[in-house]
Structure 1
Amino acid sequence: MSRAPASPSSPSGRSTAMDIRVTLDGRPVEATLNDSPAARDLAELLPLTLDLTDFHGIERVADLPRKLDTSGAPEPAAAKVGDIAYYAPWGNLALFYQDGPAASADLLILGHLDVGADHLGRATRITIEAAP
């Protein structure tokens, strides 16, 4: 897996990025995962193709094949449009197309998609692969 150059750490826990290749409904989207233990664990599951459903008009969600390692999780941060997150109690992946609720220790930001809210809000299938 290739790694992008390190970027300064931010309060949201977004730090060193891992490149991934993502398609939403067959269209390529720029995306990165952060270097958290949960994001690295998600990378171990790749490639993944997941069907997405809407959750509360804020995010698209999908069940993962197993729960992710949440040890060493970064400080909680409120999700922003385009964030890839993991909701630990349910073990699902969440893609936010609206800003999310207040920060919660149960919601871990794993990375970010560079895609518009409209496209993300209509997405029904995501494929995530390791970048070449």
Structure 2
Amino acid sequence: MKFMLPIVLVALLAACGETAPTAKQCGVYAIGPNQIKKILASQQSEPAPGRTAKADLPADFPTALLDPENFYRGMGVYCSADEARQALIDQKHQDWGVFEIESDWNNNVYKADDGAYHLRESAKIKKAVE
């Protein structure tokens, strides 16, 4: 019994540095115009944009898409293809689809001031989901 306490303490301390698995494992999905499917097929795909300073954006970039710090928030993303599909319905987009982004939710997605999730850094559009 005397030796069990140190072993239990070491085990507990070792576990403190580990991140607990999230309740919901997320992929990274986005919605966009179906023209992206043609671009993906041509192998000339541009990455999905991440958070970008206004100075690095085109002069005619819509200011409504900027956060209070004058950054484009980054492409809006969803945890699952089903959530992205629901966004298509909610936002009443026609001729749009769901796309999988080659990125990691835990390392490259953040919740912005608008309450939505966005890419922190640009990432490759992996494929059209449908």
Return the TM-score normalized by structure 1: 0.28
Return the TM-score normalized by structure 2: 0.28
Bigger radius of gyration: 2
Which one has the bigger helix percentage?
A: 2
